[in-house]
Amino acid sequence: MTQTTIFSARKIITMNPNRPVVSHVAVRDGRILGAGTLEELAGWGDYTLDDRFADLVVMPGLVEGHAHTMEGALWSFTYVGWFDRMDPDGGTWSGLKTVDEVIARLSEAESRTGDQDAPLLGWGLDPIYMGNVRVSRHDLDRVSKTRPVGVLHASGHILNVNTKGLELAGLLKEGTNHPGIPLGEDGLPTGELKSPEIIMPAGKHVGMDRAFLATDENGLRNYARLCVRAGVTTSSDLGQQLNDDLVAMFERVTGEAQFPVCLVAFRINFGIEPQELVDYTASLTDRSTDRLELGKIKVVADGSIQGFSARLQWPGYYNGAPNGLWYVAPDQLAEIYERALAAGVQVHTHTNGDEATQLTIETLEAALRKHPDFDHRFTLQHCQLASEAQFRKMGRLGMCVNLFANHHYYWGDEHYRLTVGPERAERMNACRTALDAGVPMAIHSDAPVTPLGPLFTASAAATRQTASGRTQGEAQRISVAEALYAVTMGAAITMKMDDRIGSIETGKRADFAVLQDDPTEATPESLKDIGVWGTVQGGRIFEASGI
Ligand SMILES: [Zn+2]
């Protein structure tokens, strides 16, 4: 016999324009049977009334369109970032404001690590907030001279190691000549390592093993617990080097009875030729389940703006830094797009600088002439610096965008002062322009780059405040209602899942975020402070305090 549960709540926000607010929602077999009054829903037959949410507010489960499950794996290591941050257990780690505080926390972790040879790894360091002070191997030697110690920066693009770590990596020698390995006055490396081809081999000596770089079973479970605490019921994992082993691990863990979130795992374009990338990704599509969506590609076109590795159009960086790097060759990008369109595989592309955005737009336009597709929804991820003309073009080509609202908060001041200058800083992450140009839009955290939390992300898009408290780009603010749409339906649309998630209406999966207060009544500033009670995912109830 099929069981029907009808939930009552203080208020149920549906994101369904036909009936935006209801008092009850009926769930059967993990799906929404209907949303309306108790009397209307009773028409479906026998039911059990569940009033545990009577004092709470229910909205569609939040959808994170750009994050990495690596956020879960990182908590096996020591957090040393500038901002306060919540761990999967719900504990808050205070932000560290000086190098001395970073050394103190690492030393404390060191004293708890038994094995004298085991590496010690910290993550989240952001010296840009500490007057851009350079951390050296001598600083980290204060933590240990005998144990390898490493600290990964918040951007993920710089790794500091101590003397022991340098020695194990074979880098403690004079005469090194590499732009990614700065030297000290003594002619030896300072311990700061800057490029992926240096960081990867050195990193494994300080604990950056596979579990750190990709994710492991516990990392996935920890990530899922963070999702419950943030009200997230569906999250992308935007870029894994998926292979049969990793896919099997995802299947196993997401298939556990109490796994509380649906993951959308994208295959990244690194280390694989375009044809194999598209063929392999297409072959995964049929392995999708209710809690694991497969069959999508992530391509990285350029680097990061604050790392000066993004590709900018003229006149380039405000501080005169040379233009950034292409992470994919233009002819490879064209081949991936053409093959993916032909195979019906969706591609999300990381672009930060406006030159990278322009390349992807032109490449896609040419590919579409060869392989017309009226609903490809190729999505630009971050797309931080796009101009109004680029958004207009994206709209006409049927593209979607996922803008980095959190970035505007965390690094907006640096963009204004240093990277792109005042004028272009005001147009970064241009939510208003995207919506006005008719481009379907999501907004994101890119966790672990910034913390997972769509209500914070929505707040950031609505206020456009930077960390110093300035409103940067008043004209690009969006309303609370638009921001809430972006973190539910908007993100669902960019991942082609809007037929299944994103709103509370008949036929969709029973995915809810359960909140302490009404987000539609919140101000742009107070939206981020609304407490999350937990989630309902596929009809299963997950309370954050017990997760
Ligand atoms: Zn990312």
Distance 329 CA to ligand 1 centre (A): 19
Distance 353 CA to ligand 1 centre (A): 15
Distance 442 CA to ligand 1 centre (A): 14
Distance 115 CA to ligand 1 centre (A): 34
- The per-residue pLDDT for 210 is 62
Given a cut of 70, whether residue 213 has pLDDT beyond it is no
Two tokens, residue 75: 């908590």
Distance 446 CA to ligand 1 centre (A): 5
- Closest C-alpha among 299, 309, 312 to residue 339: 299
Given a cut of 70, whether residue 75 has pLDDT beyond it is yes
Distance 425 CA to ligand 1 centre (A): 20
Task: Please enumerate in sequence order all residues whose Cβ is within 8 A of that of 34, keeping only pairs 6 or more positions apart, or say none.
Answer: 25, 26, 40, 41, 44, 506
Distance 366 CA to ligand 1 centre (A): 26
For 115-138, what is each residue's pLDDT tens digit? 888 999 999 998 888 887 889 999
Distance 309 CA to ligand 1 centre (A): 15
Distance 229 CA to ligand 1 centre (A): 20
Distance 301 CA to ligand 1 centre (A): 12
For 214-260, what is each residue's pLDDT tens digit? 678 999 999 999 999 999 999 999 998 999 999 999 999 999 999 99
Contact 190, 134 (CB under 8 A): yes
The DSSP-derived string for 386-435 is --HHHHHHHHHHT-EEEE-HHHHHHHHHHIIIIISHHHHHHTTT-HHHHH
Distance 409 CA to ligand 1 centre (A): 16
Q: pLDDT confidence of 2, banded at 50, 70, 90?
A: confident
Given a cut of 80, whether residue 196 has pLDDT beyond it is no
Distance 4 CA to ligand 1 centre (A): 39
Percent of the chain exceeding pLDDT 90 equals 88
For 289-302, what is each residue's pLDDT tens digit? 999 999 999 999 99
Distance 388 CA to ligand 1 centre (A): 24
Distance 73 CA to ligand 1 centre (A): 15
Q: What is the mean pLDDT of the chain?
A: 95
The DSSP-derived string for 2-62 is --EEEEEEEEEE---TTS-EEEEEEEETTEEEEEE-HHHHHTT---EEEEEEEEEEEEEPE
Distance 162 CA to ligand 1 centre (A): 28
Distance 51 CA to ligand 1 centre (A): 39
Exposure string over 363-394, b if 16+ CB within 10 A, otherwise e? bbeebbeeeebeebbbbbbbbbbbbeebbebb
Distance 256 CA to ligand 1 centre (A): 26
Neighbours of 514 (CB within 10 A): 25
Q: pLDDT confidence of 200, banded at 50, 70, 90?
A: confident
Distance 45 CA to ligand 1 centre (A): 46
